[in-house]
Amino acid sequence: MRGRRTKCYLLAIVLSITVMLPAMGAAAGGLTTSATPCSTPPSNQAQSPIVIEPSFTLLPASKQISFYYPAFSPVVENTGREIEIFENVSEPPSLGKVTVNHVDYYLEQFHFHSNAEHHLKFSHQPAVEYPLEIHFVHKEAPDPSNPNKVRGTVVVAVFIEAGSASGELATIFDNLPTVPHTTYTLNDVINLNYLIPEGTFYQYKGSLTTPDYCEGVQWYVFEEPITLTAAHIQNLKAIYPNNDRAIQDRNNRVIYRGSH
């Protein structure tokens, strides 16, 4: 697995604690809040998370995903429900995005669930449940000529298990904001390419896993976990031990298998 590197200079990093500005959270994310009404309201037929049963249905070319993740300066927020990370709005935007079927979906934020929300079920084996899951939330840009157009959502899910330290996340997990509704800005950049595993992923159509559970979300769930130290995982669980939604019915939805 790629993505292991040591960034010794991070040890000298200075963290500036700031009080969260409500507008900042809304501008940076908002997807996990109920501020924006669902473009595709819940039908209870296509909800997330689900048990991923590895599929032999190959991903069609129209669902292939490409990543464009320039390094950026992050803000770390305790939202009161989860630990969320987004770009420092005082910096030039990195315009990190994924592309699916020639459409760009821009990264709004990423956050962590404890325990993992999706489960992996290999045949004749108990379902695998990892301690944490990252959600990278992307949204299609607004169309100025068609403001009523439904903006698509792509969420990339990556599991975390205990193991070696993460060079990209170590400083953040050493300094998680324990007080709800506080943020700090990391005086360094992080490169999310190191957090996306190589290998197999699974794609299906589902929903957000927080209110209002909007459907129409394109999910990309990576099979191979990345690692954090057990101590870092515990740091997050000490703040949010159970912010995972229960498994939802799959309802015969197709799960595609792709490779990154």
Query: How far is residue 162's CA from residue 140's CA, in Å, rounded to a whole number?
Result: 33
Q: Which of 97, 119, 135, 138 binds Zn ion (CB under 5 A)?
A: 135
Q: Cα 242 from chain centroid?
A: 16
**CA distances (Å), 97 to each of 66, 141, 170, 171, 231, in order?**
9, 10, 23, 24, 31
Least separation in angstroms between residue 134's CB and Zn ion is 8
Only one of the segments 48-56, 66-74, 129-137, 146-154 lies at the binding site for Zn ion (rule: CB under 5 A); that segment is: 129-137
Least separation in angstroms between residue 155's CB and Zn ion is 7
Only one of the segments 71-79, 97-105, 135-143, 175-183 lies at the binding site for Zn ion (rule: CB under 5 A); that segment is: 135-143
- Decide whether 167 or 206 has the Cβ nearer to Zn ion: 206
By beta carbon distance, the residue nearest Zn ion is 135
Q: Quick one: which of 44, 47, 26 has its CA closest to 36?
A: 26
Least separation in angstroms between residue 135's CB and Zn ion is 3
Least separation in angstroms between residue 40's CB and Zn ion is 17
Element (H, E) at 174: helix 170-174
Only one of the segments 3-11, 65-73, 131-139, 165-173 lies at the binding site for Zn ion (rule: CB under 5 A); that segment is: 131-139
Locus of tokens 């490409």: 66
- Decide whether 78 or 188 has the Cβ nearer to Zn ion: 78
**CA distances (Å), 170 to each of 131, 140, 201, 228, 229, in order?**
17, 30, 25, 8, 9
**CA distances (Å), 219 to each of 13, 57, 81, 255, in order?**
34, 15, 21, 10
Q: Quick one: which of 94, 106, 124 has its CA closest to 191?
A: 94
Give the number of other Cβ atoms within 10 Å of residue 180's Cβ: 13
Least separation in angstroms between residue 48's CB and Zn ion is 9
Least separation in angstroms between residue 112's CB and Zn ion is 8
Size of interface with Zn ion, in residues (CB under 5 A): 1
- Decide whether 135 or 138 has the Cβ nearer to Zn ion: 135
Write the binding mask 80 to 119 for Zn ion: x where contact by CB under 5 A, - elsewhere: ----------------------------------------
